[in-house]
Structure 1
Amino acid sequence: MTAPIPRDIPDLPVIPGRRTNLMPSSAPAGAVAPPVRRPLVAAYRLLLALAALAAVTVEILLGSPTRVLSHFAIQSTLLLAVVTLASARRARTARRPLPAALTGATLLYVVAAALLHHVLLADATPAYTMTGPAGTADLTGPAGTLAALAPPTLHTALPIAAVLDWLLLSQPTRMRLAHAAAWLLYPTAYLAFTLAHGQLLPAGPARHLYPFQDTDQHGYQYVLGVSLLLLVTLYCLALVLIAVDRTRPGPLRLGAKTGFRLQPPVG
């Protein structure tokens, strides 16, 4: 019979050149996960980016490029096109997603621009257009059709498509509460720019970008109050975005293809 192996061998020296404890790894989980290519997701995002660029191009061709590009909806749509193109490339090549601060800000601005249009601008009198009242008055044929399709694409179709992409096709990115305050920096600067823009230009229909910023008609107290209310609403919307991101499930695996392939058995 053999003697039982003791659990602890006393006075056993440490083997030179070896560690007795395991060091914690600094590699993220994504570094050891198999890469996944998602061609269908990449195609969806590519179409979304192209539609955003097309809608912005139509608006620029119909009006003054400087005035059109000064609108928040146009700027947020251009940001959506750039971010979505980058996300499409990463989905196609199985790379890590874009930072949560960037994708969250893009979605927040696009949704906020859409809500601003439908709540404050859609029923404005006179009718609100980014190209001016004479931009689409005399257009007929294909040009008139494009001019009629561009606004609903910008203010309705693209924001809905961006939200669906985020909810169904994007991985939860664990957004932080600090992002909500950081996302307000650009809208705050933009509101200050538009208020100064309206005060520096001479009186006329093109003086103010938005009807609710007309200080001659509404007064400074009303304009500043609406601007502050917009910033508070945007901050609350950012908090809702962060809360949904922390509770939503993972994305749908449309067209997912892993980077590893099993070879058929030999023989």
Structure 2
Amino acid sequence: MTAAPRARSWGTAQLWWRVAIVAVCLLGLSSGNHRLVYFTVQSNVIVFAYYAGALYWMVRRGIPDAPAPRLRGAVTTWILTTALVSHVLLNEGASPLPGLMDADPAQALANQSLFLLHYVVPGMVLVDWLLFGPRRAVRWRDGLLWLIYPAAYAVVTLSRAIAFPTIADRFPYPFLNIDVLGLGGAVLGMAQVVAVIAVIAAGVIGLDRLSAVIGDGLRGVVARG
């Protein structure tokens, strides 16, 4: 690869938007006290790793498209799951904005860090998915594969809670709390969340299809003009 194509890749909106995703994700992960047991942290680590690798790929190949579009779809699904679970189940739909200016500086910093991980990073990844290609590279059945990681996370978390009853952060999320819900209730809660993730995955694929149709239409208008 010559220097010229590499230089051209630095002038694309795709590259700089993904640089911003990596920077915001790193800021959110490094500015709070986060434990890897939480799906929030894991999904943001995955976002950081994927987009950091994508930037390397884009610069090395001198192209605007990110690699492994099916993996990109999975990453988008998982980080949107983080946003939805946080806002609906944990915050019960309450606005996170007041907490950003908490009177306690340490608490304000913690809230700001979570705001980046729960809202800003998912929003930026969604924008990336909507605006940038490649298009039509994911299939509807790929959504089923994207459920494997969240389901495995829940199974491992429940197994950990049963095997180590005194461990810290035994139940990272209330719908996995077998002490309150019982094992059957926790499994049911897990199944409900996985079903919601399936809907998110279908939405991600549907948005890819819709963006492709809109892009084709815009290109047709430009060509006729």
TM bucket by the smaller chain? 0.7 to 0.9
Answer yes or no: is 1:80 the counterpart of 2:43.
no
Partner of residue 20, structure 2: 47
The structure-2 alpha-carbon separation of the partners of 1:227 and 1:144, relative to structure 1 and needing over 3 Å to count, comes to: closer
Question: Shift of residue 70 of structure 1?
Answer: 1.4
- Aligned partner of 2:91 in structure 1 is 122
Check 1:181–1:165 CA distance in 2 against 1; reply closer, same or farther (3 A cut): same
Query: Is there any run of 5+ residues in structure 1 with no aligned partner, and where?
Result: 1-33, 125-138, 252-267
Deviation at 1:95, TM superposition (A): 6.1
Aligned match of 1:199 in 135, 138, 162? 162
1:160 aligns with 2:123: yes
- Does the 8 A contact of 2:161 with 2:171 survive in 1? yes
Q: Percent identical across equivalent pairs?
A: 24
Judging changes above 3 Å, is the alpha-carbon distance between structure 1 residues 144 and 233 closer, same or farther for their aligned structure 2 residues?
closer
For residues 154 and 96 of structure 1, do their structure 2 counterparts lie closer, same or farther at Cα, with a shift above 3 Å needed? closer
Amino acid at match of 2:82: A
Which amino acid counterpart does residue 209 of structure 2 have in structure 1? R
Higher mean displacement: 209-218 or 223-232: 209-218
The code of the aligned residue for 1:228 comes to A
Tell me which residue corresponds to 1:223. Answer: 186
Separation in 2 of the partners of 1:219 and 1:144? 32
Name the aligned partner's letter for residue 153 of structure 2.
Y
Q: Which has the larger radius of gyration?
A: 1
Structure-1 separation of matches of 2:189 and 2:47:
26
**What code does the residue aligned with 1:172 have?**
R
Q: What CA distance in whole angstroms lies between the structure 1 residues aligned with 2:122 and 2:22?
A: 12
Structure having the larger proportion of residues in helix = 2
Instruction: Give the aligned partner of residue 113 of structure 2.
Output: 150
How many residue pairs match? The answer is: 197
Choose from 202, 208, 220 the match for 1:239: 202
SS at match of 2:137: coil
Equivalent residue, structure 2, for 1:109:
78
- Cα distance in 2 for partners of 1:195, 1:144 equals 29
Q: Which moved further from structure 2: 154-163 or 171-180? A: 171-180
* Equivalent position to 1:186, from 149, 170, 177: 149
Q: Which digits, 9 at most, give the CA deviation of each residue in 1:135-159, with x for residues without a partner?
A: xxxx955x55432310111001110
State the Cα deviation string for residues 219-238 of structure 1 (Å, max 9, x = none).
Answer: 22221111111111111221
Contact 2:79 2:122 in 1 (8 A): yes
Distance 2:85 2:104 in 1: 29
**Paired residues of 1:52 and 1:77 also in contact (CA < 8 A):** yes
Kindly provide the CA deviation profile for residues 159-187 of structure 1, in whole angstroms up to 9, marking residues without a partner as x: 01111111113331431122111111111
SS at match of 2:31: helix
The match for 1:16 is: none
Unaligned runs of at least 5 residues, structure 2 = 94-102, 217-225
| Residue identity opposite 1:71 in structure 2 | Y
Query: Take 2:77 and 2:192, find their aligned partners in 1: how far apart are those partners?
Result: 16
Cα RMSD after superposing both structures: 2.7
Q: Residues of 2 paired with 1:77 and 1:207: CA distance?
A: 20
SS of residue matched to 2:141: helix
**Equivalent-residue separation in structure 1 for 2:21 and 2:15 (angstroms):** 10
Q: Does 1:57 align with 2:26?
A: no
Q: In terms of mean alpha carbon deviation, does 48-57 or 241-250 score higher?
A: 241-250
1:96 Cα deviation after fit: 5.1
Under a length normalisation based on structure 1, what TM-score does the superposition of the two structures give?
0.66
